[in-house]
Chains A and B, each alone.
Chain A
């Protein structure tokens, strides 16, 4: 079975400081992992994805994530937070069932960015 655990439900950072959103996964096989961002009352936007290529994945808006198999982690980072980064972030693992790839979502981390 596949699962993801987002270790922090809420993270607060000052604008211009680094962002770290933590995610651990559990998967019975080599997983595909994603980070999505959701702004209030909006759908989800794909930030980045890992699909067994390079372990350091660069995404949009300056975000990146590193796949660490030994630690079963896929933490999301950004060197310098911007006010517009304030949103809900979901770590997601994909799994195949039949002919479709389904997603298992983490519980989300709300990122707050202060001046």
Chain B
């Protein structure tokens, strides 16, 4: 139980384009999902908290117009990286909350050329 999926697992895009990443809780409903970013050999950095039916809450220093989050249903949250640039290249990981425990997706590696 408590399985979270992400799609795509890997994406390469050109600078200036937008990329959408999906996060789904497969066997449970999640009112709250989270988006993290992880740089090589570093820990996870929380970007934002995604709340079903309301606006996302962004951490300090994260541009909400750059990283658009939509929590369309209790099983789906999406992160759109708008006008991506090479510095946005990273490993993006989502999690879904169930009984005060976060279950993580497998991550999406984004490479912006």
Point out residues on A near B: beta carbons under 8 Å: 32, 34, 36, 41-46, 49, 51, 90, 94, 98-103, 105-108
- What are the 3 tightest A-B residue pairs by CB atom distance, in nearest-first order? A44-B104, A43-B106, A43-B104
Contact bitstring B31-59, A, C-beta under 8 A = 1, else 0: 01010000000111010010100000100
Binding site for A on B (CB under 8 A): 4, 6, 32, 34, 42-44, 46, 49, 51, 57, 91, 93, 95, 97, 100-107, 109
CB of A103, distance to nearest CB on chain B (Å): 6
Please report whether the interface of chain B is mostly helix, strand, loop or mixed according to DSSP: strand
* Cross-chain contact B46 with A103 (CB below 8 angstroms): yes
- Return the chain A residue nearest B32 by Cβ: A100
Q: How many pairs of residues, A versus B, come closer than 8 Å at their CB atoms? A: 51
| A43 in contact with B105 (CB, 8 Å) | yes
**Does A102 contact B101, Cβ atoms closer than 8 Å?**
no
Determine whether the beta carbon of A105 is less than 8 Å from that of B32.
no
Question: Considering the chains assembled together, what is the distance between the CA atoms of A31 and B97 in angstroms?
Answer: 17
**Nearest Cβ on chain A to B25's Cβ, whole angstroms:** 13
CA distance A103 to B32 in the complex (A): 13
Query: Nearest chain-A residue to B51 (Cβ)?
Result: A100
Query: Given known contacts A105-B44, A106-B43, A107-B43, is B109 in contact with A49 (CB within 8 Å)?
Result: no
